[in-house]
Structure 1
Amino acid sequence: MATWLRWILTHRHGLRRKRGQVGRLSAIFVADQAGAPMRSCDQALAQVDAGLADDRYAVGRGFWRLTDGCQVTLIHAEDLARAQRRHGLSLDAGQHRRNLVVTGLARTELRNREIRIGDALFEWHRLRPPCGYLDRIAGPGTAKALGRQSGHCLRVRKSGLIKVGNPVNVS
């Protein structure tokens, strides 16, 4: 089990933060194309109006790219820990299909805000709930276990390098 997920499972008290508080980037995942396994990265380059370099959406090979694609997707580590605890799912290797895993930020704090991670600036775009495609790739019941509020779409507004461990500043 990943260190960040083990920490969340042992510290499951609510991590509600006020505007301007800082979270942490716990993990970065990319995939070469739709349906390909996610791979963990220590760092990634966020590219304006594209996404993360080498990720399926930045290179135009995402499953939803033409109809509903997101430049960058984000999920809270607390949501992953809850799904693992309640449903016994193993999600620490990127089975959740999200690019960024953050910890220490309340979900509602991201809506209509800018998010700075490392040298990059992101803008919250919309919620990105898990869908049936996730069940086809990661296994039946995964989408339901994560819940309808467990994903966000972000747009890249300023290119830059992001690294696991970077602070996540919301403004």
Structure 2
Amino acid sequence: MSRGIASMFLDRLNARLKQFVRCCRRAPGGRVTAIFVADAAGAPMRACERTLALVDQGLSEDRYALGLGFWRLTDGCQVTLILAEELLRAERRHGLPLDAGQHRRNLVVSGLIGVELRGRSLRIGEALLTWHRVRPPCGHLDRVAGAGMAKALGRYGGHCLRVREGGLIRVGDEVTVV
């Protein structure tokens, strides 16, 4: 009986949280603030002003679209996204620089709320991407980017997306949850 009550409580809490998130939205969408790609596993991330999203592959110049990503055989994360607000939170908490791609995520987006992305699609520039799962930081991140990076990101490690419609993505492009 107590399990049923707990389940009802959690359902109500979840519904209220979703309602709260909708009410607190600052804007109907977000913006791409940075784009990063790496041409091989462990290679430095490099910033670019634009990239081409390729259906069922990833970003044209990135390691995962090229079949050279570290996790390519196990997890199929075509494109990674992290919220700029989450990066700021991690920087403040741990004092690590996260503005030059050290987080190893492809797209940095501002103005969205992470819980709203789950199970949804995102129109980013000309491309349509679908949320796949959360992208927790791992030990590989510490080996490539430096000790403490995974801890700094903590539970705010970003999101995995799959490319459903290809197209150009540019810094400054609008991001709309659809």
TM-score (norm 1): 0.88
Bigger Cα displacement from structure 2, 75-84 vs 52-61:
75-84
Alpha-carbon deviation of 1:144?
A: 1.1
Partner of 1:97: 104
Alpha-carbon deviation of 1:155?
A: 0.3
Q: 1: distance between equivalents of 2:67 and 2:137?
A: 20
Higher fraction of helix: 2
Alpha-carbon deviation of 1:35?
A: 0.2
Deviations 1:119-160 (A, max 9, x none): 100000000111010000111111111112331000000000
- Secondary structure of the structure 2 residue equivalent to 1:79: helix
Give the aligned CA root-mean-square deviation in angstroms.
Answer: 1.5
Does the alignment pair 1:70 with 2:74? Answer: no
Task: Tell me which structure has the larger Cα radius of gyration.
Answer: 2
Alpha-carbon deviation of 1:17?
A: 2.2
Q: 2: distance between equivalents of 1:145 and 1:166?
A: 27
Query: Match of 1:127, as an amino acid?
Result: V
- Secondary structure of the structure 1 residue equivalent to 2:137: coil
Partner of 1:127: 134
1:44 to 29, 42, 51: 51
2:25 to 17, 25, 29: 17
Alpha-carbon deviation of 1:69?
A: 3.1
Q: 1: distance between equivalents of 2:147 and 2:38?
A: 20
Q: Report the identity percentage.
A: 69
Paired residues, number = 156
Deviations 1:66-123 (A, max 9, x none): 0113100000011111111111101111000000000010110100001001110000
Q: 2: distance between equivalents of 1:63 and 1:17?
A: 35
Q: 1: distance between equivalents of 2:162 and 2:76?
A: 11
Q: 2: distance between equivalents of 1:132 and 1:83?
A: 17
Does the alignment pair 1:117 with 2:124? Answer: yes
Give the conservation status (yes or no) of the 8 Å contact 1:62–1:69.
no
Partner of 2:152: 145
Does the alignment pair 1:60 with 2:43? Answer: no
Structure 2 runs not aligned, ≥5 long: 1-20
Q: 2: distance between equivalents of 1:120 and 1:60?
A: 20
Q: 2: distance between equivalents of 1:126 and 1:51?
A: 15
Structure 1 stretches of at least 4 aligned residues deviating more than 6 Å after TM superposition: none
